[in-house]
Amino acid sequence: MSNKNRTLAWMAIAILLGYLPWYNFSAVSSYILAEFSLDTGDLGLILSSFQAGYVIMVIFTGWLADKVGRKKVVAWATLCTGLFSTLFAIMANSFTSILVLRVLTGLSAGAIYAPGIALLINWFPPNERGKAVGAYTGALTSAFAGGYFIAAPLAAIYNWRIGILATSIPAFAAAAIILIFVREKPTQCLENPIGGKLPAIDNQDLGALKKHRLAPVLTITGYMGHMWELYAFYGWIGPFLMASAYAVGYSKLDAVLIGGQLSAIIILLGAPAVWLIGTAADKWGKERMIILAALGSLLAELFFGFLYGHTLSIVAMFGMWIGFWSVADSGIYKVILTDRVRGENAATALGIQSAIGYSMTIISPYLFGKVLELTNKGIAEPIYAQQWILPFLMLGAGAIVAPLSVALLKRLS
């Protein structure tokens, strides 16, 4: 195996294990809400607090990774993610402690993905980066699914703390993998831009200058629309499917278990999606694939809430469609951006993009919860909610920004 593919393989394994804590809370949230008498508004705030921690940290870690080394930052961040998630399983005993420990876990997770991509893509030429980043993002998506797959059944059989703990410990192995098996490409390889030489712009060609400056802005704007939809969908698909299962006659215990497992399958479909669409982007155009994927998910999102109360198989099939397309273009935004910045600034640029994009993930999960709460007055837990139309309409409407921005970017290219 070549050095670049070996690096990709170890990085993929590390993020698969290291990001299991991301959605372990969502997988067991029904039990936590019941134990501590929390409501849907509290759940939305907790989900958003994790994303807030991520955004705060990612602002700094891109710059830090460019200065002190990407491998060091990714390894220590992975270790801290496992540590704080483990402490959550042991010490969470109130709304305040839940909130604080999830913020700390989010802060730690914020230093993994963007520096990891910056480390990884320097090993690959521009025409292979879509596939490489797609594989890495696919492993990340598998970790999201793994949080549901592992935590939900363990919580049903034992208790939610066991579910959280089982998805936290693997992060320690991930940190060891990075420290032992991953190496950065030699520094001298970073002297040239990751995407080759940046285009020289004639002083008289103001049109070219404007296009050169506008391209990253449009890329990040599109990424904002993408993130608005994706992470609220991931955070709330579990509660929605649990409510859907409960609505068609399953007991609460079975509904939580079935909803958690279906959510895992839906999220897991994103793993092959990001690799397939990333590979297709290398061949047929990055902007074209983003537009295809964005429209594929947001149009289904607009109708998804109307399916509550219908046969669970129909709800699950629509969810699988959204699960495939909603994340399929995630890595492509990063490849487009790194094609336009110099190698020594790659982690910083990706950090800025992630910070702005992930800021949407603070807002949308919280608003989803508030809208759900306002349209289902008096419910104690999301599993009892019956009105899901407006929250999903909100996600689909916000996501329209993505294909519109990238369509304009395509015209400028």
pLDDT value of position 47: 86
**What is the mean pLDDT of the segment spanning 53-58?**
87
**How confident is the model over 23-40, as pLDDT tens digits?**
899 889 989 999 999 988
**How confident is the model over 76-103, as pLDDT tens digits?**
999 999 999 999 999 999 999 999 999 9
**How confident is the model over 238-288, as pLDDT tens digits?**
999 999 999 999 999 899 889 989 998 999 999 999 989 989 998 899 999
CA 270 from centre of chain: 10
Distance in angstroms (rounded) separating the CA atoms of residues 250 and 18: 33
**What is the mean pLDDT of the segment spanning 307-319?**
96
pLDDT value of position 351: 77
- Report the amino acid identity of residue 112: I
Q: Does residue 344 contact residue 66 with C-beta atoms inside 8 Å?
A: yes
pLDDT value of position 151: 94
User: Please, which pLDDT band fits residue 212 given cuts at 50, 70 and 90?
Assistant: low
Examine the pLDDT at 211 and tell me if it is beyond 90: no
Please report, for the chain, how many H helices and E strands are present, in that order: 18, 0
- Give ∠ CA 73-74-76 in degrees, rounded to 5: 65
User: Please, which pLDDT band fits residue 188 given cuts at 50, 70 and 90?
Assistant: very low
Mean pLDDT computed over every residue of the chain? 88
CA 235 from centre of chain: 10
**What is the mean pLDDT of the segment spanning 357-375?**
90
Distance in angstroms (rounded) separating the CA atoms of residues 34 and 24: 16
Where along the chain do its domains lie?
Answer: 3-181+206-412
Return the structure tokens found at 86. Answer: 């483990």
Distance in angstroms (rounded) separating the CA atoms of residues 104 and 84: 6
**What is the mean pLDDT of the segment spanning 282-300?**
94
**What is the mean pLDDT of the segment spanning 173-202?**
66
Distance in angstroms (rounded) separating the CA atoms of residues 83 and 70: 20
Return the structure tokens found at 82. Answer: 């496992």
**What is the mean pLDDT of the segment spanning 376-400?**
93
Residues 6+ apart with CB under 8 A from 101: 84, 85, 87, 88, 91, 92
User: Please, which pLDDT band fits residue 207 given cuts at 50, 70 and 90?
Assistant: very low
pLDDT value of position 343: 59
pLDDT value of position 337: 83
pLDDT value of position 379: 84
117 Rama class: left (phi>0) / alpha (psi -120 to 50) / beta: alpha
Q: Under DSSP, is residue 23 helix (H, G, I), strand (E, B) or coil?
A: coil
For 3-181+206-412, which CATH class?
mainly alpha
Phi and psi (nearest 5°) for 270? Answer: -70, -20
pLDDT value of position 6: 95
pLDDT value of position 92: 97
**How confident is the model over 112-137, as pLDDT tens digits?**
988 998 898 889 888 888 889 889 99
Examine the pLDDT at 195 and tell me if it is beyond 50: no
